[in-house]
Amino acid sequence: MNLIDPRISIIDERLKSVKEIWAISSGKGGVGKSTLSTFISLILSKKGFKVGLLDLDLYGPTCHLILGVDNAKPLEDYGIKPVKVENIDFMSIVFFTENKPLTMRGKEITDTILEIFTITKWDPLDYLIIDTPPGMGEVFLELIRYIKKAKFLLVSTPSRLSMETVEKLIKILNGLNLPILGLIENMKSKKEDDYVKTKCENLSVKYLGYVPYSQNMDDFINNSKFFFESDLSVRMEEIISQLI
């Protein structure tokens, strides 16, 4: 007998005041998903939207590093209130693990994600950006159950291996009739071809543009002023303007 976890109904209540949820997904790690999740949140916040950012990359969370969140702690108020940073409501597993590595597997990971959704009290938001866990296994599929109104924003590098993985993810999402906002090609150099763009056209997925490879990416860490003054910020705004 399969029992419905009562926490799932609590999640619906927690997310009731969130207008849109964008799940930043790739099907694999190492494509810059966390960086783009953070940059998207910064751009939307700069435009005057109320934005939340949830880092669910449990094994390798990095959004807090990019935002420069050091010793901040979420507040308890019949639940957990996200930390406010750069005018973004931010929640991450690192607030509970003290940045120590996790050794969880399978159901433990699923329960942890479920618990984070259950205890987090979001203020009314225009956008909640979720940096999803890498992979397309049980954890990702369970996550889809929790965020029923999510729209998926996909990320791939120019690598054919990366795009092949994303293609599998696209087929999963299409099979579940879940909305795909489009795809961002990340870390593209000038010498690389339009393989990813052509692949998107063949798969009927909107190609939103590419983010050029930068050797100075570390300069953006904990430095939103530098980011907003960069060409990268302009490129990100061009991409996001297609979605809002």
CB 166 within 8 A of CB 156: yes
Give the total number of structural domains in the chain.
1
Q: How confident is the model at residue 1 (pLDDT cuts 50, 70, 90)?
A: very low
1 in a structural domain: no
2 in a structural domain: no
Encode pLDDT of 90-105 as tens digits. 999 888 776 666 666 6
48 in a structural domain: yes
84 in a structural domain: yes
Distances (CA, A) of 189 to 14, 144, 164, 215: 41, 33, 19, 11
Q: State yes or no: pLDDT of 228 exceeds 50.
A: yes
Encode pLDDT of 166-187 as tens digits. 999 999 999 999 999 999 999 9
CATH number of the CATH domain containing 200: 3.40.50.300
Please give the structure tokens belonging to residue 88: 């973004």
pTM: 0.93
Q: How confident is the model at residue 146 (pLDDT cuts 50, 70, 90)?
A: confident
More confident residue, 154 or 135: 154
Q: State yes or no: pLDDT of 138 exceeds 90.
A: no
Which residues fall within 8 angstroms of residue 97, CB to CB, at 6 or more apart? none
Q: State yes or no: pLDDT of 41 exceeds 80.
A: yes
The residue among 58, 52, 3, 29 whose CA lies nearest residue 150 is: 52
The residue among 169, 135, 119, 166 whose CA lies nearest residue 60 is: 135
What is the span of the domain harbouring residue 152? 7-240
Q: State yes or no: pLDDT of 206 exceeds 50.
A: yes
